[in-house]
Structure 1
Amino acid sequence: MSRPQEPHRPFLPFGNPFRRMSPKGSYLSPKLLALLNTFEETLQGRIKNLRPVGRDDVLRLSWMRFAMDTLCEIHTDVKALITALELPVSDWDDKWIDVYLDDSVQLLDICIAFSSEISQLKQGHLFLKCVLRNFGDTPAKQLERARSSADGWKQHIAKKNPRFDNCFSAMDVLAEKLDLPKIKNSAKGRILMQAMYGVKVVSLLVCSIFAAAFSGSTKKLLNLQVPETFSWAAAFSELQAFVNTEIRSLHSNGRTTILKELEAVDTDVKKLYPIVQEEGNTVEAQALENSISDLGKSAEKLSDGLDLLAKDVDKFFQIVLKGRDALLGNLRISGNASNGVHRVNIKVGSPMVR
């Protein structure tokens, strides 16, 4: 899972993405302004809650689950805002539709990559189970098989997941298109794009953190600059700085597996490995028993955490997919569907497709 360290390349969008979004004479009615303020206040609160309590909570599966749940809530919030705006799809500008569909397809690709990585980590759990079960055999055989299983786990975890190339590419596309299209004479459109910008920025930050956790690399850990005019900008900057600083610190200290539960398993495997390298008659029984117990606990904690995270990633995938499908369905009904409508091809049988 480890990769050679690469120089950090921060993403710094140029200019204010909303400088071109506010045409002269645009006016937000009290009702529209209230909708926008409510959405951004809620977004600010969700971002503040995302900040880990302490450094040790960064890149724990429990925090990653909470981050994914928060993304689900934020994307649900923007759907509620779209409904409250009473802006029919027939009134959507083609550029707005392109933004929504482009963003959604990138998020779906990222979710598929995350799901694939979780599955790969869970497959590694089979090697750990073999390590633990082999100690019910005769001493000589149990040590030989345990060594083989431990070696298998190391090799499996070190494997590069080819789906992560798609994940990194999708993140690049999202980062490059943070500058939103110009809004002409549409107060509702302005609110829609401003809200979608916030959703996109938070989604991109969380995805970059997940990518760092799964890949063991800070290659795609982003530094996103949000204009200070947004009420949630300070909370976002604080969250980003806190988490990114801790991740880079872990990486600079030589940690090849910066996902906390995975690191715990790796540590226990390393403790057990020298013991099973000894000949059967020289193995110290108590040390072996303690190591087996520690590995069993850390392996189970990793497996349970991955199961729960997989469900949260799938939930987020379904929210994005259903929102996309609803938009495309409305476009067809209104007769606005065109040859330029973006499609996403998802293989039947994918664990993320219901």
Structure 2
Amino acid sequence: MSQPQEPHRPFFPFGNPFRMLSPKGSQLSPRLHSLLNAFEEALAARLRKLNPKDKDDVLSLTWMKLAMESLCETHTDIKILITELELPVTDWDEKWIDVYLDISVKLLDMCIAFSSELSRLNQGHLFLQCALHNLESNTSEKLLRARSSLESWRQHIGSKNPRLENCKSILGSLVDSLSLPKVKNSAKGKVLMRAMFGVKVQTVFVCSVFDAAFSGKSKNLLDLDVSNTILWARAYSDMQNIVNGEIRDIFSRGKFTVLKQLDEVDTVVNNLYPLIQDGTGPIEVEAFRSSFSDLGMRAEKLYQGLDFLAKEVDGFFKIILSGRDALLCNLRVCDTVADPFLENNGEQVVR
């Protein structure tokens, strides 16, 4: 069934945050310009790689794995940039720390939801294995069991995962956080904020695609309008238009599932199911044999792909967790020297 498309959300609801790198205020040294350009050029190249060579690749497990790998690389790059900026935690504005900690915990929650869904989908492999095992025999009892296993697989795959329900609201809050905190008199801080902006844009895009694919709701896709004043804007816009456009087209076809390999298995199951009669055996032997072989091959491909993707999501989770732990550890070390969380009134700031 065709899903109504939501209007594009405004990207800069509070003005253009890139004005923070204007001539007013702290100037960027050649070194800082070089660091920022290197980061943004790498991000642009990464976004271009997410442009599918074939539109049929969109929402394939291979493309989703590539998207998660790309996201992991970008988050690793921002950690490297922070080190190269030589900007100690003691110089971080509290707003930056608040934003980072808030976003990181939301991303951890989303990773847990995605991992839960991948695990749930993987559990369906057992039903297909049972069906394939029973289909090796043409006895009435075995065929009935195979039919039951195929029906159980469809019911399992078609069920909803309650862990995904909060992903849309989390994504909404991440979009709201895209307006950057103001940076005063800190050239390094301005570079950090602009780089983090790019990280957040790619993160929102990838996570919204995963949420739409897993939830089966095209309205969960997000379209972000990036200012063309930034180096990677064109690469992002081109990629977003192609990927989101194709995903919406897939949804409009009313498929059982929008995940490519999962849909391929479902197609074979639908072809095989009517060939299995209630206790009388397959009607068309050749068609049965072909579907049986095809199901085994596609099922194996599906569940290998799910395993690989689950490892990438787990890797992303670990990157976010390690970055968060490192920041909290540094803050605790700084706290032994001088408490950076004390307001003028002496009250402790709780995060």
Residue correspondence of structure 1 range 162-173 to structure 2 within 5 A: 162-173=162-173
The yes-or-no answer on 1:323 pairing with 2:323 is: yes
Q: CA RMSD in A?
A: 1.8
* 2:8 corresponds to: 10
Q: Secondary structure at the match of 1:185?
A: coil
Deviation at 1:75, TM superposition (A): 0.7
Cα distance, 1:113–1:282 mapped onto 2, change above 3 Å:
closer
The answer for unaligned runs of 5 or more in structure 1 is 343-354
Residue correspondence of structure 1 range 267-286 to structure 2 within 5 A: 267-277=267-277, 279-280=279-280, 283-286=283-286
Aligned partners of 1:281 and 1:32: how far apart in 2?
72
- 8 A Cα contact 2:26 2:185, kept in partner: yes
Q: Secondary structure at the match of 2:309?
A: helix
Partner AA of 1:89 in structure 2: V
The yes-or-no answer on 1:74 pairing with 2:74 is: yes
* 1:57 corresponds to: 57
Partner AA of 1:124 in structure 2: G
Cα deviations by residue, 1:286-338 (Å, 9 ceiling, x for unpaired): 22211111111111100000011111110111011000100000000001464
Partner AA of 1:82 in structure 2: I
- 8 A Cα contact 1:121 1:157, kept in partner: yes
Cα deviations by residue, 1:50-73 (Å, 9 ceiling, x for unpaired): 211110111111111111111111
Deviation at 1:21, TM superposition (A): 6.6
- 8 A Cα contact 2:272 2:288, kept in partner: yes
The yes-or-no answer on 1:144 pairing with 2:160 is: no
Cα distance, 1:281–1:246 mapped onto 2, change above 3 Å:
closer
The yes-or-no answer on 1:246 pairing with 2:207 is: no
Q: Which deviates further from its counterpart, 64-73 or 192-201?
A: 64-73
Cα deviations by residue, 1:170-203 (Å, 9 ceiling, x for unpaired): 1111011111111111111110000000000011
Residue correspondence of structure 1 range 1-354 to structure 2 within 5 A: 5=3, 7-13=5-11, 14=13, 15-19=15-19, 24-137=24-137, 139-277=139-277, 279-280=279-280, 283-335=283-335, 336=339, 338=341, 340=349, 342=351
Aligned partners of 1:114 and 1:46: how far apart in 2?
22
Cα deviations by residue, 1:253-285 (Å, 9 ceiling, x for unpaired): 112311100010010110011111354156322
Q: How much identity, in percent, do the aligned residues show?
A: 56
Q: Secondary structure at the match of 2:324?
A: helix
Runs of 4+ in 1 over 3 A off after TM superposition: 3-7, 19-23, 336-342
* 1:346 corresponds to: none
Cα distance, 1:162–1:337 mapped onto 2, change above 3 Å:
farther
Aligned partners of 1:47 and 1:282: how far apart in 2?
49
- 8 A Cα contact 1:272 1:292, kept in partner: yes
Partner AA of 2:250 in structure 1: L
Cα deviations by residue, 1:151-176 (Å, 9 ceiling, x for unpaired): 11111111111011122221111011
Q: Which deviates further from its counterpart, 135-144 or 116-125?
A: 135-144
Q: Could you tell me the TM-score, scaled by structure 2's length?
A: 0.92
Aligned partners of 1:20 and 1:87: how far apart in 2?
18
Q: Which deviates further from its counterpart, 99-108 or 227-236?
A: 99-108
Partner AA of 2:19 in structure 1: R
Q: Which deviates further from its counterpart, 24-33 or 117-126?
A: 24-33
Aligned partners of 1:281 and 1:225: how far apart in 2?
57
Q: Secondary structure at the match of 2:207?
A: helix
Aligned partners of 1:341 and 1:186: how far apart in 2?
25
- 8 A Cα contact 1:89 1:327, kept in partner: yes
Partner AA of 1:106 in structure 2: K
Q: Could you tell me the TM-score, scaled by structure 1's length?
A: 0.91
Partner AA of 2:239 in structure 1: L
- 8 A Cα contact 1:65 1:312, kept in partner: yes
Deviation at 1:18, TM superposition (A): 2.7
Q: Secondary structure at the match of 2:220?
A: coil
* 2:344 corresponds to: none
- 8 A Cα contact 2:2 2:253, kept in partner: no
- 8 A Cα contact 1:23 1:183, kept in partner: no
The count of aligned residue pairs is: 340
